[in-house]
Amino acid sequence: MTCTEVQDMLHGAETPLFWVGAFVVASMFLWIIYRLLSGFRVWVLGNGQLISPRLGKWAVVTGATDGIGKSYAEELARRGFAIVLISRSQHKLDDVAKSLEDQFGVETKIIAADFGKTNIYPSIEAGLSGLEIGVLVNNVGVSYPYPEYYLHIPDLDNFITNMINVNMTSVCQMTRLVLPRMADRSKGIILNISSASGMYPLPLLTIYSATKAFVDFFSRGLQEEYRRQGIIIQSVLPFFVATKMTRIRKPTLDKPTPERYVAAELNTVGLQSQTNGYFPHAVMGWVTTKLVPIAIVIFLGARMNRLQRTGYLNRRKQREQKNGTGLKTD
């Protein structure tokens, strides 16, 4: 093949290659514009007017006496819902109920229940009987007292049972109790509070991470089953929030107060079936699932938790030595 023939061949390919490149560039540009507009719709405009008592007079919140659960109860009461508070401590339930009644002038109902047990649901069902429930927030959850290797977890048998009952069984059972009446009315919202640790395995918090992954999968599967019936089931995956469970005392931009987190998260309902709920958390979720290889995310998570474990055990050892007792840390 002569040089002239090669030049003619390349010249003939210029036009098709130009249009292929133009198509790729245009597609990327349109994708970026779409993502920016979608982000603006979710994180700036929001969907805050969707959640109102038009869905049903009552909102039910589990794990409602502290942290994110309490903030959901307060925000839903501010929007005019009567609130059913379900948690373990009768004393705390009484305090939160009185606060909601005094501050927002709404009706409240309390149900004391230990979600670590499985025989509680008949009494919860009786307590919810006859109520028109528009919103259910499955928030109750339990984590590790400190990061730990699986076989070193104290009282492992009971630990497993309790975590599964609280983090997984509660979500399934509460949904079983509330969803049928929502489906009959073709409206209702269920918010299942998972965790960013359910987006990928988190070593040394392995059981917690796995239970939260279950909540995410359960929520997304049910959303597809019931969305045509007018039901919204949302999986909520927060990163760190300044709550008693996380032991974060000082809020920051990426570790918001529960009030700030809940206000932001409720604006995403109806726009995202799976959400990190808060813009900085959404950025963190995108980076850790789209940009960083999963092996690196797992490695860094394990490293962080090993450091936290070592720090916790060293502090505990010092306290026990001070008190004249020993501690085995292997």
- Tokens for 314, please give them: 């060293």
Q: How far is residue 169 from each of residues 63, 85, 161, 212, measured CA to CA in Å?
A: 14, 18, 10, 12
- Of 144, 208, 261, 278, which is the active-site residue? 208
- Tokens for 66, please give them: 């502290």
The rounded distance, in Å, linking the Cα atoms of 70 and 59 is: 12
The rounded distance, in Å, linking the Cα atoms of 212 and 218 is: 10
Which residues are CB-neighbours of 314 under 8 A, at least 6 positions away?
none
Report whether 193 contacts 136 (CB < 8 A).
Answer: no
Residue 278 appears among annotated catalytic residues: no
The rounded distance, in Å, linking the Cα atoms of 37 and 35 is: 5
Which residues are CB-neighbours of 129 under 8 A, at least 6 positions away?
none
Report whether 268 contacts 46 (CB < 8 A).
Answer: yes
- Tokens for 235, please give them: 């999986």
Q: Which residues are catalytic?
A: 208
